[in-house]
Chains A and B, each alone.
Chain A
Amino acid sequence: MSQPRAKCGWRVPCRWAALALWIGLILAGANTRAFADGGTVRLSQTQGPYRITALTSPNPFRSGPVEINVLVQDATSGDALPDANVRLSLALRDEPDEARLFVAHSGATTNKLFHSATFQLPRAGEWTVSIDVEGPAGTARTSFDVTAGERLPRWVSFWPWFSWPFLVVALFAVHQTLARATPSAAHPLSTNNSSQRGGDGDNLGY
């Protein structure tokens, strides 16, 4: 004798698949929003044929993962120059000879006007950031100083990932309070009925 198929038997795997997809997308995409707003303006000045603006993230600036965005514009017309080449050089003020070099790419950040470089800043301290621009009107160089604070403990950047259950607990507490105050049908998960105790299994010795 064959068993008729459950009418909505695919709902459960579909829901689980949707949940897995959602979690996967969140896990994959959570990084991409980190510094989407550009950051703190550190420098905006005309240097040679260009107007150069530099922004840093995070705010406050600290060692660990950082992003530096540079906007290069034509000094005369104000037109953005996304095709210019931008190189960054970072050195601790006390150790000017040990510079770290990065290339800032246009397209590496959400706002395609900017040239962006994302990297790990190794230490806290006074850093000098030099910007070299090479564009259609020639080259230009400028720099700014920035103080980087101590790196935050790793768990700080993950706190939403282990604290959201407490929000769920709070919501559940509210739900239970409201559910108790509101007459309703028996809870679906309540399966405590006498028919499930004992029964044929006892008599059959299974």
Chain B
Amino acid sequence: MNPAFDAFLRSWPSNPALIVTLLGSAAVYLRGWVELRRRAPARWTGAHLLAFVSGLAAIFLALGSPIEPFASLLLSLHMVQHLLLLMVAPALIWLGAPFFPLLRGVPATIRTHWIGPVLRARVVRRFFGGLTHPFVALPVFIAAIWIWHAPGPYVWALRSDASHYLEHACFLAAGLLFWYPVVRPYPSRPSWSLWLLMPYLILADVQNTLLSALLTFANRPLYAYYTEVPPLAGVSPLADQAAAGVIMWVPGSVVFLVPLFAIGVRLLFSSPARVVTARTAAAPRTRTPHAQTTFQLPVLQSAPAGGFDLLHVPLIGRFLKWRHARVALQLPLAVLAGAVIVDGLHGRQLAPLNLAGVLPWIHWRGLLILALLVAGNFSCMACPFTLPRRLAGRWLGFGRVWPHWLRTKWLSLVFVALFLWGYETFALWDSPRWTAWIVVSYFVAAFAVDGFFRAGTFCKYVCPIGQFNFVQSLVSPLQVKVRAPDRCASCHTHECIRGSSVVPGCPTRLFQPHKSSNMDCTFCLDCVHSCPHDNVGLIAGLPGAELWRNPFRSGIGRFGTRTDLAALVVVLTFGALTNAAGMVGPVVDELDQLRTWLGDPPAWVTTTLFTLLGLVVLPATTVGLAAALSRRCGQFAGSVVDLATRFAYALVPIGFGVWLSHYSFHFLTSWETALPATQRALQDLGYTFGGEPRYQCACCRPVGDWLVRLELLFADAGFLLSLYAGYRIAQREAARPSRALAGFAPWALLILMLFAAAVWIVFQPMQMRGTLPGGG
């Protein structure tokens, strides 16, 4: 085989984005087509499916096959690529009548409430109606072809990836516009006459012939780029150019002439009534209420609602419904906590090689945040500190009620702030002994508080980790909630909160029928086990939807009146940035300079100032300012504090995004550190079966570009969800809808600033805490 041809056959570009997009489109179309075909098999035939999939295949052939890499070496192949995008793919896609199948194929919520209003909008319909009119589509098509085949733009596209993408996008878009009037995909009913298509196609063919002739008969290469690259298989640039012209001329003309012939035959031999019907059934449909209804059906109908329930998943659900599931999860964590304590107190005081230096700070934090992202508050569910709770109740047995004046988040907020301060000031990640003592004090505190007071008091009012989990789980996809509210209406025993003879009720006093959101829910699943109606599940919902709602919530009240909760949210959001910023190069340098400027005081002075700035000064000023401006611009009712309280919940997603970026960064770069730490700990205890410690694993992995992208994606998602939550809150709180946007603007600015800070941090050099130097 010719080496060039052999290389051609092996030169498949790796473009996962293209493949996934095409496969995704095909899957959505297929899903919609199957449903539509079930209803109207005569209208939705296999030919539609075949045409649409062939159209996608043509795009793949143009952009995802060896044609793509060789297009920069051979003009003739480049022309094939252009024809596929201009003429083949668009026509086939329209022949698939993709509107209804694609709409029907997307999830009902997106279809009905996001796409529907756009498609129904008159301005959109007019715009696309005008754009696909032959008088517009033909000039656009011709302009796209001639401009991009002019020597300057053509060579520009060859020399730059971005312009090459732009060229292909232009061709595909122009092709779709051009072929729309010709194919008239269902339910398109244009008002203009079919006769108009005769000059339409003839003119298109004439311009195609002119350009083809120009290429074929030119006596010099028109595109300088192809004179620079070496000729392949002995084909000179001029011969290659002539071949490109012929390809454009002959197959290109056929593509125009075949529909021209078909339309001509139809016009000449069809009954006049049929042609008139086709012509007159068009635009009016879009303007009458009846037409709108017809257009909405069947594609804009909502699908029946259904919720994913983790407890219905075969193995996991069965395990979680087991009464001792929580203990089964807590026990291994308790063993690990014991190992952390022993190794932290007695092991080698080198954090990357000590279990107390790696397990809590790298693995547990990373897994905790990832669990919050994909499921919910499973960290509290598996929390080992509450394991001896029943023992405490039995031994101490006080069961007192937590003082009323402490039934807020203020105390836990102080603990959260102290923890974040202590983390920086005492470099907790670098001190296995400190870490071990923190774990010990956690066990003691949980034992004492839940022994003296009612079970669950520690989790709800004291535990800083619990508060972190509660707040972040507001954007988790799963929630412990009732399956059928009607069933709760007839229940008078309320075991979910009172408990049954064998299972206690909710320790944090959340009454299931009025529980809303994951706030204060430890995922202990006592309500699941105690409910005699099997009416509590781990049910999926829209992540973050609870942030803009303000109903009465059992055990909590309304978010909008809980200033303590809002303050906790604000501190955790700014804490995310403060915590991450404390380990990036420029901030560390600034702190060093500050220390020098202050006359070299102890390090805790500068870290305290930094923490005060990050957790108190900045949040108070920016949130206060945003609330004041929002109150003034949006003319909201209530005080500045009321408004800050209401809007603060919109900051949860951006804070979560930053925590997620930060903790997943450490986990994904340093997860291997557990191995040498475990090997060393075993070796110290005299066990040799773990082998010699693999110290190279204690260095973190290099930071790949994919990880930077992942971090940015987390921040992006948090940013968008925060903006949306803020917007929805503004809509709800504004006295007049017209003021909502003005009231939202200051909060949008604040969220944007937080996002900018998060992105800046991602690109800074970072301390690889908890690892040995030498890696990333």
Contact = CB atoms under 8 A, between A and B. Distances in A.
Interface of A: 1-3, 5-13, 15-16, 18, 21-23, 25-38, 40-41, 44, 51, 53, 59, 71, 73, 77-82, 107, 110-113, 153-155, 158, 161-162, 164-165, 168-169, 172, 174-175, 178-179, 181-182, 184-185, 187-189, 191-192, 196-202, 204, 206
B390 interface: no
Interface in B1-28: 2-4, 6-8, 10-17, 19-20, 24
Contact of B229 (A41, A161, A179): A41
B705 A9 contact: no
A111 B713 CA distance: 31
A80 B306 CA distance: 59
B158 interface: yes
A165 B716 contact: yes
A68 B231 CA distance: 19
Given A9-B312, A162-B715, A201-B552, A113 B11 contact: yes
Contact of A38 (B69, B309, B710): B69
Contacts of A111: 7, 11, 69-70, 73
Contacts of A161: 708-709, 712-713, 716
Given A8-B304, A110-B69, A192-B549, A44 B723 contact: no
B141 to A, nearest CB: 25
Contacts, number: 242
A8 B716 CA distance: 29
A28 B497 CA distance: 47
A206 B711 CA distance: 40
A3 B723 contact: no
A29 B14 contact: yes
B551 interface: yes
Contacts of A9: 306-309, 312
B366 interface: no
A201 B496 CA distance: 13
A129 B497 CA distance: 76
Contacts of A198: 552
A191 B716 CA distance: 26
Contacts of A51: 230
A28 B15 CA distance: 10
Interface stretch (B113-121, B172-180, B326-334): B113-121
Contacts of A78: 230-234
Interface stretch (B339-347, B429-437, B508-516): B508-516
Nearest to A194: B551
Nearest to A179: B117
Given A71-B230, A178-B124, A110 B11 contact: yes
20 contacts: A3-B483, A6-B307, A13-B308, A16-B477, A25-B17, A38-B72, A53-B229, A71-B230, A81-B3, A82-B6, A110-B11, A110-B14, A165-B755, A174-B118, A175-B118, A179-B121, A181-B123, A182-B117, A201-B511, A201-B513
Nearest to A29: B16
B719 A165 contact: yes
B184 interface: no
Max chain B Cβ within 10 angstroms of own Cβ: one of A44, A73, A113, A153: A113
A12 B307 contact: yes
Contact of A40 (B120, B159, B510, B551): B159
Contacts of B374: 16
A6 B308 contact: yes
- Closest 4 CB pairs between A and B? A29-B16, A206-B511, A201-B514, A8-B306
B3 A31 contact: no
Contacts of B109: 188
Max chain B Cβ within 10 angstroms of own Cβ: one of A2, A27, A112: A112
Contacts of B15: 29, 32-33, 36
A158 B709 contact: yes
A204 B16 CA distance: 56
A103 to B, nearest CB: 19
Contact of B7 (A33, A41, A82, A188): A82
Given A40-B159, A162-B712, A26 B477 contact: no
A73 B229 CA distance: 12
Contact of B160 (A22, A59, A204): A59
B161 A33 contact: yes
Contacts of A165: 716, 719-720, 755
Given A8-B306, A79-B4, A169-B720, A31 B705 contact: yes
Given A37-B72, A110-B12, A202-B552, A175 B7 contact: no
B229 A44 contact: yes
Nearest to A39: B159
B308 A11 contact: yes
A71 B73 CA distance: 11
Given A30-B709, A41-B228, A15 B107 contact: yes
B262 to A, nearest CB: 37
A175 B306 CA distance: 26
A89 B164 CA distance: 31
A8 B303 contact: yes
Interface string B526-538: 0000000111010
Contacts of A25: 16-17, 19-20
B257 interface: no
B510 to A, nearest CB: 8
